[in-house]
Amino acid sequence: MKIFTAEKIRLADRFTIENEAVSSVNLMERAAKNCVDWISENCKQHTKFAVFCGIGNNGGDGFAIARMLYSKGFDVDVFINKDNTKFSDDAFINFKRLKDISGISVKDYSESDKYNFEKTIIIDALFGTGLSRNVDGFYKNLIDNLNLKSNPKISVDVPSGMFTDTLNDNDSVIFNADFTLTFQFWKKSFLHPESGKFAGKVIVLDINLSKEFIKNNKTDDFVIDDDLILKIFKPRQDFAHKGTYGKSIIVGGSYGKIGAAVLATKSALRSGSGLTFVLAPNCGYEILQTDCSEAMFIEGGEKNITEIDEQENAVFGIGPGLGTQEKTEKALLKFLKKQDSPLVLDADALNIISNDENHIKLIPKKSIITPHPKEFERLFRKTENSIERLNLAKIKAQELGIYIVLKDHHTQIINPEGKTFYNITGNSGLAKGGSGDILTGIITSLLAQKYSPEEAAILGVWLHGKAADLAAEKFSKEAMQPTDVINEIGNVFLELNKKATTLL
C-alpha cells in the first residue's frame, strides 16, 4: 500500500471528484458511512456518543457520523465552537442536515466541562490532515481535558493535533485515541513511535478514491500489506530438492551466549532453508547439536569464534551472540575483506563494524543489516528522532548500496534507491532478548532461497511479525517467548500457501 502525503491525498480526493462523478459532499458521506459501519460492528457495548467537531472537513465528517449514528438508534451529542461557525462548504452542508434532527443536541465545547461522560464513546473530529501548526488556546485546553477522560476514544482520519507527514514538537498537544479510523491510506506519522502512540489501533477504511490516481502517482513510502507479500512469496515446488533452497550459515554464539545462535539457527530451519549450518565455538557444540539437530555444525573456535571460513554458494547470517572479543573482531573483518556476496549482519557483527568507520565500507553490496536504534546510532550517528534516523538511513543505504532494516515498533526496510517499506505486523511481545536473533535467521534463510535482498528483508520482517502476532494470541504479549515465535512460523506459511493457491 502506498503512503501519500497530506497534499497528495487532497489531490486524490479532487481527482476522484472530478473524474468519477461523485461530489465532494457525497465523498464525505461515503467516508462517514464507512466509519459508522465500523463503529456499529465494533462498539456494540456502548449506546452513547459525544462527537467533537471542528469547522473544516474533518468536522464535516463528524457531523455526518453523528447523524448516521443517531439513525441507527444511538444517543448522540455534538460539540462545536458556537463562537465560530464559519464551516467549510461541505461541513456546513452536513451541519445543516444535522440541525434538522431534533434528537441530536448541539452543544458548545465549554459545556463539556459539566457533561456526563458515563458510558460514552468520545469521537474526535476536530482537525484533519491539513493541520500545519501546534494546537493552542481553547482547542489545546479542550484536547487536554478530553485526554484526561477514561472513556473509549475514536479519532476520525487523524488524531487532532497530529501532523500527517512530520513529527510534532515534544510539547504538542495531541488527542490520545484508542482507535483511529483513517481514510484510504496509512499516514506517515502513524508509523513512527513519537506520534504513532497517539493513534492507537489504526483502521484503514477504503473510501474508493480513484484507483487510476493511486496507480499513476509515485511515492517512496509504502506499507507492507498482504498484496505485496503475495507478490513476493514463492510457494514450494513439488520437484525441488534441498539444493534448490540454498545453504544458510549462521555465524554466532560465544561462551554464555549460545542461545542466540540456537534461536537464529532454528528460525532459519523453520523458514525453509535447504541446507543449514551453524558456525559457532566448540563450547556450544553439544547444545547446538541437541537443540538444532537438523543443522550441521562448523567449529569456529573454542569459547569464542576466532575463524570464519568462506563457503561456496552459501549465505551467511552473522552476529547473534557473537561477542566482540579481539580475536572475533579480527576473524570477522578478515572474512568481510574477502566476501563479495550479499549477507546478513546483526547484533555484535554490527557492534564490531561500528568500532571504525572504515569497517562499514567492508559490508558487501546488496547486504542486509538489521540494527536496532542504538546499533544504528553506533554505526552512523545519533539522530534527534525516528524520522531523522530514517532519512539518515536512506542516505547510508544509497552510499553503501545495502538494505537497512531499522528495527522499531513499525520496522522500516530501506533500499539503496531510497524507498521505505513499513511493516505493520508484530507487537510488543517481541520486546525480549532473542527476537532479533530470530529475524536474522529468517532473513538469512530467505536470502539463501534466492529471494532478492529486498524481498528477503520485506518478507522476513513481515513473517517475523506475523508469527509474533499468532504467538501473542496464544500466550499473551507478556508471556510469549522467542521460541513461541519460531513455532508459529509454520502456521504463517500454511496461511500464505492457502492464499497463494487461491490466487492461481
CATH of the domain at 377: 3.40.1190.20
Is residue 148 situated within a structural domain?
A: yes
Distance CA 50, CA 124 (A): 9
The C-alpha cell at 321 is: 551472540
- The pLDDT confidence band at residue 171, using thresholds 50, 70 and 90, is confident
CB 3 within 8 A of CB 188: yes
Q: How many beta carbons lie within 10 A of that of residue 464, not counting itself?
A: 29
Phi, psi at residue 298, to the nearest 5°? -120, 120
Query: What are residue 75's DSSP bridge partners?
Result: 48
CB 239 within 8 A of CB 213: no
What pLDDT does residue 30 have?
A: 96
Pair 74, 173 in one domain: yes
Domain boundary among 190, 219, 248: 219
Are 312 and 457 contained in the same domain?
Answer: yes
Q: Do residues 84 and 233 share a domain?
A: no
Beta bridge partners of 317: 250, 344
DSSP state of 193: H
Same domain, 73 and 191: yes
Whether 105 maps to a domain, the answer reads yes
Ranges assigned E (strand) in 206-274: 221-223, 247-251
Residues 420 and 312 in one domain: yes
Residue-level pLDDT at 504: 59
490 close to 484: Cβ distance less than 8 angstroms: no
313 closest CA partner among 250, 249, 402 = 249
Statement to judge: residues 214 and 234 lie in one domain: no
Q: How many domains does the chain have?
A: 2
- Is residue 251 located within the same domain as residue 159? no
Q: Could you tell me which residues are beta bridge partners of residue 279?
A: 251, 298
Residue range 352-390, pLDDT digits in tens: 999 999 999 999 999 999 999 999 999 999 999 999 999
Q: Round to whole Å and give the CA distance between 404 and 400.
A: 10
With cell 504467538, the residue in question is 471
Angle, alpha carbons 382-385-390 (nearest 5°) = 80
pLDDT score at 244: 82
1 in a domain, yes or no? no
Give a yes or no: residue 266 inside a domain: yes
Cα–Cα dist 486/472, whole Å: 12
Give pLDDT tens digits for 7-52: 999 999 999 999 998 999 999 999 999 999 999 999 988 889 999 9
Residue 224 falls within a domain, yes or no? no
Mean pLDDT of 193-217: 96
Percent of the chain with pLDDT over 90: 92
Instruction: Determine the pLDDT at residue 265.
Output: 98
So what's the pLDDT on residue 4? 97
Structure confidence at residue 501 as a pLDDT band (50, 70, 90): confident
Helix, coil or strand: residue 69: helix
Q: How confident is the model at residue 503 (pLDDT cuts 50, 70, 90)?
A: low
Using CA of residue 237, residue 242, residue 243, residue 248, what is the dihedral sign? Answer: positive
Q: Could you tell me if 304 and 419 lie in one domain?
A: yes
Render pLDDT for 93-149 as a digit per residue (tens, 0 to 9). 999 999 889 899 999 999 999 999 999 999 999 999 988 889 999 999 999 999 999
Name the pTM for this structure. 0.95
Q: Which residue has the higher pLDDT, 501 or 331?
A: 331
Residue numbers of the domain that contains 180: 6-219
pLDDT of 258-307, one tens digit each?
A: 999 999 999 999 999 999 999 999 999 999 999 999 999 999 999 999 99
pLDDT in tens, 389-434: 999 999 999 999 999 999 999 999 999 999 999 999 999 999 999 9
Q: What's the grid cell of residue 374?
A: 542504538
Where a domain ends, among 219, 242, 259?
219
Asked if residue 394 belongs to a domain, the reply is yes
**Average confidence score pLDDT of the chain:** 96
Is 385 inside any structural domain?
yes
Alpha helices in 87-225 (DSSP H): 89-99, 137-148, 193-196, 211-216
Cα dist. 340→310, 317, 336 in Å? 11, 14, 8
Task: Flag the least confident range among 75-89, 209-223, 234-248.
Answer: 234-248
> Do 343 and 395 reside in the same domain of the chain?
yes
199 lies in the same domain as 295: no
One domain for residues 213 and 263? no
CA distances, 315 to each of 145, 443, 449, 460 (Å): 55, 10, 9, 15
Q: What is the helix (H) or strand (E) element at residue 232, kind and residue range?
A: helix 226-232
CA atoms within 13 A on the CB side of 402: 24
Predicted local distance difference test score (pLDDT) of residue 502: 77
Show which of 166, 189, 219 is a domain's final residue: 219
pLDDT of 54: 96
- The pLDDT score that the predictor gives to residue 242 is 79
**Residues 75-96: what's their mean pLDDT?**
95
What CATH number did the domain enclosing 103 receive? Answer: 3.40.50.10260
User: Of 68-77, 93-102, 232-241, where does mean pLDDT reach its minimum?
Assistant: 232-241
Q: Is residue 76 part of a domain?
A: yes
pLDDT tens digit sequence for 292-350 = 999 999 999 999 999 999 998 999 999 999 999 999 999 999 999 999 999 999 999 99
Rounded CA-CA distance 115/282 in Å is 70
Strand 120-125 relative to strand 48-53, pairing? parallel
State phi, psi for 366 to the nearest 5 degrees: 65, 10
Q: Are residues 210 and 237 in the same domain?
A: no
